[in-house]
Structure formats: C-alpha cells, structure tokens
C-alpha cells in the first residue's frame, strides 16, 4: 500500500505539478498522541507529501482551534486534515471534526463520509482508516467477494465497529455486530469465518471463541503490566489472546504490528486520494 501511495504521489507531482499536502493538528502534550503524530508525519514525508504539523498548547480555546481548521480548509495546498484525538477535555471534539471539509477529512470521521459508507457509496467518500486497513487484510485472505462467509465484529463504536461492519456488508459477508450486551458472546464469535475484535479489553477473545480455520483481525491495543520485564514495565496486547487463538485460527493479526501499520498506510492512501480528487485526476483504486 505504501509503495502504491508513493507512486501515486510522485505521479501527481510529475503530471500536474501538485505535491500532496497533509496537515496534522495536535493539542496538548499527551505522550501517546505525540508518538502517533510523529509516526504519521514521518510516513507522510516518506511518501513524498508536504507534511505540516501544528502543535498547539493544552490551553488552546475552541475558537482558536476552529480558526486553524478553517484556514486549513481554505488552503489549496492542503489536501488532508487530521486532528489528533483525544483532544483536551475542555474542547468539543465532534464540533471540530465536523468542521473539517468532508473532502479533506482523511480520518473518514465526518458525517458525510460516514453516511456515504453507510449507504454503500465507497467511491466518492473517504473511509475511516482503521476499518479500511482491516478490510484490506481481510481481502488479502479472502478476495474481494465475501459471499457465503459469516463475519462477526465485536464492538459497535462509530470510530471502528460500525464502519467495519458496513465494509464487510458491502463485500457481501453476512455480518453480526456483537458488543458488551450480546448474550453468550463466545458462541456468537465462534460462528465467525471472519472475527474482528475491537472492544478494548486485553486478551478477552480466547481460543474457544475462535472457529477453527477462521481469520482473526485484532484491533485492540491495550497496555498491561509486564513484571517479567522488570518493576513498573508494561507491554502491548490486543483484544485477542494471540498465542492460544493463533493455534486455532488460520490467519491472525498481531498486536502491535498488525492493524496499526495498516491504519497509517490507509491515512496516506486517503490523503493522496483527496489530492487527486482536488485536482480532478482519476486515481486508480488501491
């Protein structure tokens, strides 16, 4: 995917003289957010983008942030705008996200982009990066048409669960959206040919939740104590008990190193797609 993005960005610059522009906005000093933004910025530069970062103090007001987004909306050299979440608690995140022009909303969180996905329009909107990346992994295993396959998505968030279910449905899978209120969640999960876990509970999905031969996509990222590494040390795990579930599944994504890098890749793909559309150039589908 990254190689395809690099080629597309280079092609746009060569043919139209346009350098793909991505602006990332971060407010405050949350260490995890700064880590994520750093990774995104480095990848954007690697892809040949003009990558701009706006780092604002934690005390930034709603109006100041809104004014910055408005100026980026109006800047023709910026094709993608990403506001790193979470924002400090005194800021209204949703109002900011919805103020981004839908055609520059490379996170795919604007209601226009969410609505296009919900109504089956995968061609003219921008799809939320994590479900888009997870879907690419599913397609790499099962192909474009998921007819006859049962998919279970554990999690119903607007950020991931709902758009993931809609993508699977668009590919003709039979989809169940499960969640914390689902009765006998383990048996629902075990019926899945494609099992996607996005609940935010460390290693909740055990081997006996997994159908033999299933494809398991783990979207969770949880930090747990790792005393074996020393006092106060921690490690990252997913929502799936990787070692035991991996004995049963045919394909399983690791955490870290699975869906996370795909999310970054799809952010780059959305940005170069937005740049092509802004310049009325038809982009070959990724």
- Catalytically active residues are 40, 84, 107
The answer to whether the CB of 218 falls within 8 A of the CB of 259 is yes
Q: Which residues pair with 177 in a beta bridge?
A: 153
With 0-12 / 13-18 / 19 or more C-beta atoms within 10 angstroms meaning exposed / middle / buried, residue 33 is middle
Handedness of CA 54, 223, 154, 88 (dihedral sign): negative
Output the DSSP codes for 132-185. HHHHHHHHHHH-S--TT-EEEEE---TTTHHHHHHHHHHTT-EEEEE-TT-TTH
Output the DSSP codes for 45-88. HHTT-EEEEEEE-TT--HHHHHHHHHHHHT-TT--EEEEPSSPP
In this structure, how many other beta carbons lie within 10 angstroms of the beta carbon of residue 64? 13
Q: How far apart are CA 193 and CA 173, in angstroms?
A: 10
Q: How far apart are CA 207 and CA 242, in angstroms?
A: 9
Supply angle C-alpha 2, 142, 195, rounded to 5: 95
Q: 212: which DSSP letter?
A: T
């Amino acid at each position: 995917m990254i190689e395809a993005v690099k080629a597309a960005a280079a092609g746009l610059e060569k043919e139209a003289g346009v350098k793909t522009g991505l602006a990332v906005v971060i407010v405050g000093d949350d260490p995890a957010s700064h880590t994520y933004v750093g990774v995104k910025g480095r990848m954007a530069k690697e892809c040949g983008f003009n990558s701009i970062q706006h780092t604002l103090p934690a005390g930034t007001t709603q109006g100041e942030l809104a004014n910055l987004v408005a100026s980026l909306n109006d800047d023709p050299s910026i094709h993608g705008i990403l506001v790193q979440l979470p924002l400090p608690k005194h800021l209204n995140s949703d109002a900011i996200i919805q103020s981004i022009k839908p055609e520059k909303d490379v996170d795919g969180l604007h209601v226009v982009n969410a609505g296009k996905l919900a109504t089956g329009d995968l061609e003219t909107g921008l799809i939320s990066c994590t479900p888009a990346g997870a879907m690419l992994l599913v397609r790499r295993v099962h192909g474009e048409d998921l007819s006859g396959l049962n998919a279970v998505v554990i999690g119903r968030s607007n950020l991931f669960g709902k758009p993931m279910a809609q993508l699977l449905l668009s590919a003709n899978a039979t989809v169940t959206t499960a969640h914390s209120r689902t009765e006998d969640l383990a048996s629902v999960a075990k019926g899945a040919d494609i099992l996607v876990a996005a609940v935010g509970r460390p290693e909740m999905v055990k081997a006996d939740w997994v159908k033999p031969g299933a494809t398991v996509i783990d979207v969770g990222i949880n930090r747990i104590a790792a005393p074996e590494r020393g006092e106060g040390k921690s490690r990252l795990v997913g929502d799936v008990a990787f070692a035991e579930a991996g004995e049963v599944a045919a394909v399983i994504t690791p955490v870290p190193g699975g869906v996370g890098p795909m999310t970054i890749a799809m952010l780059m793909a959305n940005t170069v797609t937005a740049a092509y559309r802004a310049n009325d150039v038809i982009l070959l589908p990724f």
